């Protein structure tokens, strides 16, 4: 059989990167105009792969709406290939459900145009998630193409047995931890190995001799892949002529203007049987010691924090709360959620969420995050208002005519124990029918009663009620003009213990005659700087670190939250410390320690730690950047000028909390540096576990022998864990995606709190002064020690719960159709972690999703009167389930559909 050269035209379109979004947008309009014109006038220009992301069509048709019919025609004719993604995301820095919403949105929109390109396309992801084969296969996609994470050796080279990250071919099998397997295609010669094909014979012969040899070196079949394009590559309008020239020059090769559908079909028919099997995450240190680009996890951390908040609002509040309201008759806001998700996902491309673009890009991202957050909060507010308006709260009116009922909701799939807070307006003085001055006078002078908090049975609930100053407010009725008022508000602090998943409960404020009723119980302080509850004893040391004793296991974690500061003369992609420079540690600091809260429900200690650090790198760095000196060849060091940076570390322990919450605040005025919190575990293990995409990924603490980079920072989602058989430490975080395990320091977990640099990096000189992240900073994480056995998985649940909230809303004392206590869905398992509870647009059914954090199978039990079926990750029905029990395979993702009627 003749060898076949599959030439696939494409352009890897970074929506924003070294140019702001609108500049790229204008260039994309030009690009698309030229593409459509080329396809219209040249019937031999067979097809174009539109970079695997449907957002390119959104952006184009925003300017050229009249071209929609032309686009639809080309898609239906299978000349223009779109999807399966909405955007080309960074998989590590976007959450599990965000990755699925991206796939779901892309496939839904591509189908509306007429055809979906069913190849998992990851051309320039900075490594790939280990569960991609399972996700793609469940969505009906059995082939993926990617650019990083595996090292090709060429078919004449040996590949060591059990080498998980090396393949002799550009084709291989890629397998998820659960065993799901798809065909993987590595861009062994990158995704530009067929760009700018010459049409002139002499140049074409030289070009193809080199390109054919490069592809043959790695290909396992006679089908050779040539990617005709690169980053923002204009369309090659003379490609048809160039391929005719190539065919004349090389009669033994069949040149095809191809597409991934045809190419992958050919591979599946003819691939060799001895293909390597690559398992799990494609982020190997073996592939390149620097360019896995893991340090993008700490570039512009403020973006990661905003993203974490938005994802939590959508996944762990807006969607499940809307589903709860839908259960009781409210319309589910599919369109608003789709709009909100798309707005959020527009910040998820790898050059965007990674923080490795020019400043203008990231300024616009902040606005998008704020817009997405506003949409999520609107859905939350509307859902809570509907539930509160329909709760049956007559019991409280019977207790006292002056009762102020309120609703507390746990919309997550985890039991929640926490000290919750809510601000309630207990009295309104509306402007309508009165004067503003009269309302103001009443708000200032009328006295509120003292209150105690009671549950629906009339039992006093631990907590306190604080009167707040009067404030202006307004209501926006659905059927008439807005109502402005002055309101009297109270802040309610109450203790919630073991609140069941997907549960609504009612409480109320009952007027009492005595003033200032306080919480019942003793202080959590057992000595001057020691806080203690049932699970933990936490002593804050003179240098601001903390010693934590986990009572069940007896493990003591000493001097946790040591601060470490180093210079960074790298860039937004890569951290690089000046060679030979030692870090500045807070070990010898004398912290100013004070109690900031002391109640029976919660205790908090603040340690103010002052560190003397260099103000910046020295003057050589600016010259080296200007001269395009690669980061690892730079000789710049630290400035001799220093400044004093005060870092306030607040440790918060709740009576019902199994973890120690940590808040870190500082005003960053230094340049070119990284700040980390070091948590020494003292545990003896070679492995650790990180929350990844639908996976608690098992990773080695040590580095490969070929690893060049002295920094071994890695990605996490919501937690990282180190444990032995007797117990361990889980650290949960809110938007702190970078960590490093330091095995030579007793398996210390280093959590990056700040990294500031002055340039984008990569291929040119792109200054990014705002990447220094100057100004006030606040970071939040939680230290969760655990015992042996399944306590490990309970700590994972605690970590997930740390990133979500309980929600409250004022209710009325009237009769409603929702019981005053209601659980929407009861479920149980040992090693499964919940990720989604929403309503599917196409079916109107509820979607419930979990994944198995263990390699062993586990039993999922759903207690519901609804009919249950197994769904795929797209929410499509597969088969009905008998009863409420099902086995979830080790590392499996399981999606259940629950029929509404």
What CATH number belongs to 293-390?
1.20.1270.50
DSSP 3-state of 502: coil
Listed in sequence order, the residues at least 6 apart from 367 whose beta carbon sits closer than 8 Å to its beta carbon are none
Measure Cα distances from 612 to 562, 581, 643, 644 in Å: 15, 15, 6, 4
The tokens for 759 are: 């340039």
| Fold topology of 525-802 | Beta-galactosidase; Chain A, domain 5 (2.70.98)
| Residue 213, H or E segment | helix 201-216
Q: Are strands 3-9 and 223-228 parallel, antiparallel or unpaired?
A: parallel
Cα–Cα distance measured from residue 17 to residue 351, given in angstroms and rounded to the nearest whole number? 6
Mean local confidence (pLDDT), 758-762: 95
Domain at 398-515: CATH architecture? Sandwich (2.60)
On whether the CB atoms of residues 736 and 718 are closer than 8 A, the answer is: no
| Reported confidence tier of residue 594, pLDDT bands at 50, 70, 90 | very high
Phi, psi of 800 (to 5 degrees): -65, -40
Tell me the torsion sign for CA atoms 134, 136, 141, 144: negative
On whether the CB atoms of residues 794 and 801 are closer than 8 A, the answer is: no
Mean local confidence (pLDDT), 576-581: 94
pLDDT tens per residue across span 229-282:
999 999 999 999 999 999 999 999 999 999 999 999 999 998 777 899 999 999
Q: Give residue limits of the domains in the chain.
A: 3-287, 293-390, 398-515, 525-802, 825-901
CATH superfamily of 3-287: Glycoside hydrolase 38, N terminal domain (3.20.110.10)
How many Cβ atoms are within 10 Å of 118's Cβ, its own excluded?
A: 20
Q: Which residue has the higher pLDDT, 516 or 497?
A: 497
How many Cβ atoms are within 10 Å of 110's Cβ, its own excluded?
A: 25
Q: Are strands 695-700 and 687-692 parallel, antiparallel or unpaired?
A: antiparallel
Cα–Cα distance measured from residue 869 to residue 97, given in angstroms and rounded to the nearest whole number? 20
Is the pLDDT confidence value at 153 over 90? no
Percent of the chain's residues with pLDDT above 90: 91
| Nearest residue to 837 via CA among 847, 829, 845 | 847
Q: Return the pLDDT at 1.
A: 72
pLDDT tens per residue across span 446-491:
999 999 999 999 999 999 999 999 999 999 999 999 999 999 999 9
pLDDT tens per residue across span 663-682:
999 999 999 999 999 999 99
| Nearest residue to 413 via CA among 499, 327, 507, 333 | 499
| Reported confidence tier of residue 518, pLDDT bands at 50, 70, 90 | low
Average pLDDT of every residue of the chain = 95
Same fold flag, 3-287 and 825-901: no
Is the pLDDT confidence value at 755 over 90? yes
Clarify whether 124 is annotated catalytic. Answer: yes
Q: Return the pLDDT at 152.
A: 84
**25 class by beta-carbon count within 10 Å (0-12 exposed, 13-18 middle, 19+ buried):** middle
Domain at 825-901: CATH architecture? Sandwich (2.60)
Cα–Cα distance measured from residue 446 to residue 586, given in angstroms and rounded to the nearest whole number? 52
| Reported confidence tier of residue 128, pLDDT bands at 50, 70, 90 | very high
| Reported confidence tier of residue 899, pLDDT bands at 50, 70, 90 | very high
The distance of Cα 561 from the centroid of its chain, to the nearest Å, equals 24
| Reported confidence tier of residue 289, pLDDT bands at 50, 70, 90 | low
Q: What is the distance between the terminal CA atoms of the chain, rounded to a whole angstrom?
A: 57
The residue from 124, 392, 672, 820 that is catalytic is 124
Q: Return the pLDDT at 274.
A: 82
**Which H, E and C letters describe 602-646, residue by residue?**
EEEEEEEEEEEEECCECCHHHHHHHCCCCHHHCCCCECCCEEEEE
Percent of the chain's residues with pLDDT above 70: 98
Q: What is the DSSP letter of 259?
A: -
| Nearest residue to 296 via CA among 478, 106, 91, 437 | 91
Q: Return the pLDDT at 515.
A: 54
| Reported confidence tier of residue 151, pLDDT bands at 50, 70, 90 | confident
Listed in sequence order, the residues at least 6 apart from 636 whose beta carbon sits closer than 8 Å to its beta carbon are 569, 578, 617, 618, 620, 621, 624
Is the pLDDT confidence value at 519 over 60? no
How many Cβ atoms are within 10 Å of 373's Cβ, its own excluded?
A: 18
pLDDT tens per residue across span 330-368:
999 999 999 999 999 999 999 999 999 999 999 999 999
Q: Are strands 660-668 and 642-654 parallel, antiparallel or unpaired?
A: antiparallel
Q: Return the pLDDT at 567.
A: 97
pLDDT tens per residue across span 632-659:
999 999 999 999 999 999 999 999 999 9
| Reported confidence tier of residue 287, pLDDT bands at 50, 70, 90 | low
Cα–Cα distance measured from residue 883 to residue 292, given in angstroms and rounded to the nearest whole number? 45
pLDDT tens per residue across span 52-69:
999 999 999 999 999 999
Mean local confidence (pLDDT), 78-106: 98
Mean local confidence (pLDDT), 512-530: 78
């Amino acid at each position: 059989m003749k060898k076949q050269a599959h030439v696939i035209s494409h352009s890897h379109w970074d929506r924003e990167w070294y140019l702001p979004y609108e500049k790229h947008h204008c260039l994309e309009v030009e690009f698309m105009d030229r593409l459509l014109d080329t396809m219209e006038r040249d019937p031999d220009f067979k097809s174009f792969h539109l970079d695997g992301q449907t957002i390119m069509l959104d952006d184009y048709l925003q300017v050229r709406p009249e071209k929609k019919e032309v686009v639809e025609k080309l898609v239906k004719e299978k000349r223009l290939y779109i999807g399966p993604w909405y955007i080309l995301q960074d998989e590590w820095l976007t959450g599990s459900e965000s990755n699925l919403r991206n796939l779901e949105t892309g496939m839904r929109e591509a189908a509306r145009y007429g055809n979906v390109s069913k190849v998992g396309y990851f051309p320039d992801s900075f490594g790939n998630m280990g569960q991609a084969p399972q996700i793609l296969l469940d969505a009906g996609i059995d082939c993926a193409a990617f650019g990083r994470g595996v090292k090709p050796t060429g078919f004449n080279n040996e590949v060591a047995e059990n080498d998980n990250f090396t393949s002799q071919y550009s084709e291989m099998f890629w397998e998820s931890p659960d065993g799901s397997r798809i065909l993987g295609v590595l861009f062994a010669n990158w995704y530009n190995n067929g760009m700018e094909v010459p049409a002139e014979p002499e140049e074409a012969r030289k070009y193809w001799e080199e390109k054919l040899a490069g592809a043959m070196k790695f290909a396992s079949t006679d089908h050779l892949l040539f990617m005709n394009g690169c980053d923002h590559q204009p369309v090659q309008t003379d490609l048809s002529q160039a391929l005719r020239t190539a065919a004349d020059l090389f009669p033994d090769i069949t040149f095809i203007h191809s597409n991934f559908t045809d190419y992958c079909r050919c591979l599946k028919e003819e691939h060799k049987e001895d293909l390597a099997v690559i398992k799990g995450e494609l982020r190997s240190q073996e592939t390149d010691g620097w360019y896995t680009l893991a340090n993008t996890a700490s570039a512009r951390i403020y973006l990661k924090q905003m993203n974490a908040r938005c994802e939590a609002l959508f996944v762990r509040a807006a969607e499940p709360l809307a589903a709860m309201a839908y259960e009781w008759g409210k319309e589910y806001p599919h369109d608003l959620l789709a709009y909100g998700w798309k707005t959020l996902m527009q910040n998820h491309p790898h050059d965007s969420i990674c923080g490795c673009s020019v400043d203008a890009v990231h300024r616009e991202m902040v606005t998008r995050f704020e817009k997405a957050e506003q949409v999520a909060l609107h859905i939350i507010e509307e859902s809570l208002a509907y539930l509160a308006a329909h709760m049956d709260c007559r019991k409280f009116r019977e207790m006292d005519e002056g009762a102020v009922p309120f609703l507390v909701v746990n919309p997550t799939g985890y039991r929640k124990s926490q000290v919750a807070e809510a601000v309630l307006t207990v009295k309104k003085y509306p402007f309508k029918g009165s004067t503003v001055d009269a309302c103001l006078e009443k708000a200032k002078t009328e006295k509120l009663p003292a209150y105690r908090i009671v549950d629906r049975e009339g039992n006093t609930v631990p907590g306190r009620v604080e009167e707040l100053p009067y404030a202006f407010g307004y209501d926006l009725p659905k059927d008439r003009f807005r109502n402005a008022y002055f309101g009297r508000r109270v802040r309610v602090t109450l203790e919630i213990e073991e609140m069941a998943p997907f549960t609504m409960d009612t409480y109320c404020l009952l007027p009492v005659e005595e003033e200032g009723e306080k919480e019942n119980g003793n202080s959590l302080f057992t000595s001057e700087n020691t806080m203690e509850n049932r699970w933990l004893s936490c002593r804050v040391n003179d240098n601001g670190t903390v010693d934590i004793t986990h009572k069940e296991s007896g493990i003591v974690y000493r001097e946790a939250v040591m601060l470490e500061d180093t210079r960074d003369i790298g860039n937004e992609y890569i951290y690089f410390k000046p060679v030979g420079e030692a870090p500045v540690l807070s070990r010898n600091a004398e912290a100013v320690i004070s109690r900031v809260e002391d109640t029976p429900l919660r205790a908090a200690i603040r340690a103010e730690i002052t560190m003397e650090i260099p103000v910046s790198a020295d003057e050589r760095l600016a010259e080296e950047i200007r001269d395009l000196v690669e980061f690892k060849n730079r000789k710049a060091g630290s400035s001799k000028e220093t400044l004093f940076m005060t870092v306030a570390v607040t440790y918060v322990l709740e009576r019902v909390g199994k973890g120690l919450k940590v808040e870190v605040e500082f005003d960053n005025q230094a340049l070119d540096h990284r700040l980390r919190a070091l948590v020494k575990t003292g545990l003896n293990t070679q492995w650790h576990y990180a929350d990844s995409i639908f996976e608690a990924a098992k990773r080695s603490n040590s580095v490969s022998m070929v690893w060049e980079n002295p920094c071994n920072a890695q990605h996490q989602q919501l937690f990282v864990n180190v444990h032995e058989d007797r117990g361990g430490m889980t650290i949960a975080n809110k938007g702190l995606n970078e960590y490093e395990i330091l095995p030579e320091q007793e398996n210390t977990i280093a959590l990056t709190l700040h990294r500031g640099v002055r340039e984008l990096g990569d291929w040119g000189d792109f200054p990014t002064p705002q990447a220094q992240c100057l100004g006030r900073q606040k970071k939040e994480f939680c230290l969760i020690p655990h015992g042996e056995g399944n306590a490990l998985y309970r700590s994972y649940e605690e970590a997930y719960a740390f990133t979500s909230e309980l929600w409250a809303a004022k209710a009325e004392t009237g009769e409603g159709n929702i019981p005053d206590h209601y659980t929407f869905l009861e479920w149980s398992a040992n090693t499964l972690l919940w990720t989604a509870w929403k309503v599917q647009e196409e079916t109107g059914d509820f979607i419930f999703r979990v994944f198995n954090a263990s390699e062993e199978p586990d039993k999922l039990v759903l207690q519901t009167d609804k009919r249950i079926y197994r769904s795929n990750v797209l929410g499509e029905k597969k088969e009905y389930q008998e009863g409420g029990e099902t086995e979830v395979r080790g590392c499996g993702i399981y999606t259940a559909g629950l029929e509404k009627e």
